[in-house]
Amino acid sequence: MKIKRFAQISSEIPVASMSDIAFLLIVFFMIVAVFSIEAGFSLKLPAKDKPPLEVSDQRIIELRISRDNSLTLNGKSVSPEELGAHLSQPGFRNRQFVSIKAHAKSRYKTAVLVIEQFKRNGFEKISLKKLKP
Amino acid sequence: MKLKNSYRIVSIIPVASMSDIAFLLLIFMLLSSLLTPQPPLQVAPPQVPNTAEVKEEKGTRIYLDASGHIAVNEELGRLEDIAALLARLSVPKDQIYLYADAECAFEKIDEVLAALKAQAFEKATLICRETPKGKKRD
């Protein structure tokens, strides 16, 4: 009778695909790192002991946010959708300073949407102030 | 005369150290990349159509929800405790990222900004979510 020979079992761990796994992990981490980029607005906070800047009224755009989140631009009522169109008018272009006065109970979302509209229209000097309830 | 045998030039690129290089790159990526931590408070920042991208560097994260709960990095508290929480920071005048809920009352944001100003912080970033393309803002 012919006895079959057993195949010899290799005791080595195959490491040929190690570099492939490592490169796949690198690609994964590179993609995940991109996700940590957030969107937002950077604000420069005023210095603690700095006196307030005096600016003439002709150079200021005043926007008020009322308790019910309605907007008033230089005394005239505007809707959030119309705000961008108003700001692109020539009368506003030569005004450099924006003063946003929000009611204490108004929503933060409204203030952010307003800041976004001003930033989109090229206004960079924006001040935020809370109106007393 | 006996002629010398010329050496044969091997045309194989050695790839044995490839996995070592790959793992070194992997360790570098792990150490240098900033992994977003699990937020200590669930907040939904406001959605806006166009925002500038903010590259998050290592800084202090402040989370503020609509009911007045606050978290400075991992430390939870009430909005009234913000001055104490900011004073306990290990890196005092760090970059600030403010994750505030869209439904927050403006007075709460003002209180946070006033506390930051009082402790001589110079810059703060209001974190927002960008409105998905083709969707109207809420």
Specify the length of chain B in residues.
138
Q: Report the distance separating Cα B82 and Cα B62, nearest Å.
A: 10
Does A42 sit within 8 Å of B125, measured CB to CB? yes
Q: Which CATH number, 1.20.1420, 1.10.20, 3.30.420, 3.30.70, labels domain B47-130?
A: 3.30.420
**More confident of the two residues B34 and A128:** A128
What confidence category does residue B138 fall into, taking pLDDT thresholds of 50, 70 and 90? very low
Domains of chain A and CATH, by start: 58-131 (3.30.420.270)
Number of A/B CB contacts below 8 angstroms equals 149
Sign of torsion, CA A100 A102 A106 A107?
A: positive
Q: Output the pLDDT for position B21.
A: 86
Q: Output the pLDDT for position A60.
A: 86
In a mutagenesis test of the B interface, which of A64, A67, A112 is the best target, namely the one with the most B β-carbons within 10 Å? Answer: A112
Contacts of A58 (CB under 8 A, 6+ apart): A95
**More confident of the two residues B132 and A91:** A91
